[in-house]
Chains A and B, each alone.
Chain A
Amino acid sequence: MSFLTLKDVSFQYPNGFKAVNQVNMSFERGEAVAIIGQNGAGKTTTVKMMNGLQKPTEGDVLVDGWNTKDYTTAQISRKVGYVFQNPDDQIFHNDVYSEIEFGPKNLGLSPEQVEENVMKSAELAGVVPFLKENPYNLPYSMRKFVTIASVIAMNSSVIILDEPTAGQDLKALERLSNLIKTLNDEGKTVITITHDIEFVVHHFERVIVMANQQVIADANKREIFWDFDILEKAMLKQPHISRLSNSLKIDGDILEITELTERLKRKTAKV
């Protein structure tokens, strides 16, 4: 059985609004998965059900054999960590070190183990130079990395990143992709919500597309970004280089620059 499974899951607010409608997903250990779709498609509510912040009103969420209905959010968060979309929803300490330390300390680890977890995750997230600073003196983009470090420090098997790419520059995006890769190599599952299609193209294989509170596709990125029906339903466009290849009628379901230049090179070789 998969490590994390959502079975016919719905979430309905007391006012009757269904934020998630009959969703099925499953994730294995060590996977990197991107979830994309419009604002309001149901992405955040779906992932909040994975770590028990929300409990499904229909269906079941199973984490490593646990049904989230039978456990508290604190218990589930040892297995599934969630980094909020807005870092300010999460930060409550006066210095970065204490902020990162809070989670592992509460797990009841030895002081040495806590320190090791804090330093390792701070390094991965690139926040070591700021450990003594007040998180609110750091820019938004860096505060986001502080919250990522504090979730990684919990050493959970699954880590969910909610729009980590928002407002990030080139270097930060590189740091983010290295971080995801390192976590995957350690056997951890990383689920990332993002609007940055180019980031998905460069760093993920499996992509889940949500639209109107449902999953409309769950496949390899190449299948997704060349399925015009799915893209239209999700109000998404192809990645830039795919669009260009499509306009130039160059086949091969191209996603990246080097694929396109390779194709063009092969064409010139034939002439």
Chain B
Amino acid sequence: MSMITIKNLSYQYPIVETDVLHDINISIEKGEFYAVIGSNGAGKTTFCNVIRGFIPHFYKGDLRGEILIEGKDIRDWELGDLSQKIGYVFQNPFTQISGVKETVFEEIAFGLENLGLEVEIIKEKVENVLKMLEIEYLQEKNPFELSGGQKQRVALASIIVMEPDILVIDEPTSQLDPQGTEEVFKIIELMKNKGKTIILVEHKMELIAEYADRIILMQDGKVVKQGLTKDILSDEDTLQYGSALPQYALFGIEMRNQNMDLGSIPLTEKQSISVVQQWMKKEGLA
């Protein structure tokens, strides 16, 4: 059974006349890392809001089609149970941080307290997460004194500590410098290695190429392409749908256009080095 099965999903916000999501069909498998890509306004965040049950439980509007989470229709799930199954990390870390706790440690413990766990168990879980994300040094700080990058990591920690099976993460790196961005991707990879299912909305193609297993490409409320990262991000056609491609793929495509075909289109730095070295050997350049 798929973790999430979506059949003929369409959705219209209240008041608005047109669908923001049109006839989406997709299945999300356990333990896989999906990147949702596409231009702004393509429906990526709305799609995430359906998966985490905010539509229809919180936002009304007209939801059609079937959305099954572990085989059970999303309309039949209690929002509280769903939020333990699916963790959602907001685009903006300021939205995530509760504002009612005075230290990072308490902030991360907040969700577990609400589940009514024993104090000793909460402490242990929070300590483990602090260690895993390498933010132990922040534990006594006030969440509002943190830098943007630190806040984004605390926001992630406060969701990871709840141990949801599915993580839905909406542009977690938009305000981060390159190093902070890389750190967030390493954390997400760690979660994948623990068997979590990841759904990530992101624009940074070189990192998606490196980390994601599969791509969901959206445009105008539709899923226009879905498949393995290596297929979607090496295909020049993807550009037509308003998405970027990794610099390495663009390089491979340019080589092909200049009659210096590398044999395959590389997606990452590592792949590029390897295919160029092979090509240079073949051409007698190395």
- Partner-B contacts on A (CB < 8 A): 37-40, 85, 139-142, 163, 166-172, 195, 197-198, 235-237, 239-241, 243-244, 247-248, 257-258, 260-261, 264-265, 267-268, 271
Contact = CB atoms under 8 A, between A and B. Distances in A.
B147 A169 contact: no
A258 B251 CA distance: 8
Interface in B235-286: 242-244, 246-248, 250-251, 254-255, 258, 260, 269, 272-273, 276-277, 280, 283-285
Contact of B39 (A169, A248, A265): A169
Interface residues of B, number: 40
A195 B269 contact: no
Given A195-B178, A257-B250, A267-B280, 9 more contacts: A85-B175, A139-B40, A141-B40, A163-B175, A170-B243, A172-B40, A258-B254, A267-B285, A268-B260
12 contacts: A39-B149, A40-B147, A139-B41, A142-B40, A168-B203, A169-B39, A169-B40, A197-B178, A244-B273, A248-B277, A264-B276, A271-B283
Contact of B247 (A39, A240, A248): A240
Given A39-B148, A244-B248, A261-B254, A236 B178 contact: yes
Nearest to A262: B258
B135 interface: no
Given A240-B206, A241-B251, A267-B285, A170 B39 contact: yes
B8 interface: no
Nearest to A163: B175
Contacts of A169: 38-40, 203, 242-244
B174 interface: yes
A195 B207 CA distance: 15
B78 interface: no
B142 interface: no
B91 A140 contact: yes
B138 to A, nearest CB: 14
Given A39-B180, A241-B251, A265-B260, A167 B41 contact: no
Contacts of A264: 255, 260, 276
A36 to B, nearest CB: 9
A77 B91 CA distance: 31
B176 interface: yes
Contacts of B149: 39-40
B81 interface: no
Given A139-B40, A170-B39, A243-B269, A261 B251 contact: yes
B221 to A, nearest CB: 14
B171 interface: yes
B114 interface: no
A39 B37 CA distance: 25
A44 to B, nearest CB: 11
B286 to A, nearest CB: 9
Question: In this complex, which of A39, A142, A235, A248 has the most chain B Cβ atoms within 10 angstroms of its Cβ?
Answer: A39
Given A170-B244, A258-B254, A264-B260, A235 B91 contact: no
Nearest to B239: A170
B285 to A, nearest CB: 5
Given A167-B171, A170-B242, A244-B272, A257 B179 contact: no
Contact of A237 (B178, B180, B250): B178
Contacts of A37: 177
Contacts of B258: 261, 265
Interface string B60-103: 00000000000000000000000000000001000000000000
B180 to A, nearest CB: 6
Contact of B147 (A39, A141, A195, A197): A39
A39 B260 contact: no
A271 B260 contact: no
A264 to B, nearest CB: 6
B166 to A, nearest CB: 23
Nearest to B42: A169
Contacts of B203: 167-169
A236 B176 CA distance: 12
Contact of A38 (B174, B179, B283): B179
Contacts of B41: 139, 142
Interface string B207-247: 00000000000000000000000000000000000111011
A167 B149 CA distance: 15
Nearest to B150: A39
Contact of B255 (A140, A172, A248, A261): A261
A39 B242 contact: no
A247 B273 contact: yes
Given A39-B177, A169-B39, A260 B251 contact: yes
A257 B251 CA distance: 6
Nearest to B277: A248
A170 B175 CA distance: 17
A163 to B, nearest CB: 7
Contacts of A197: 178
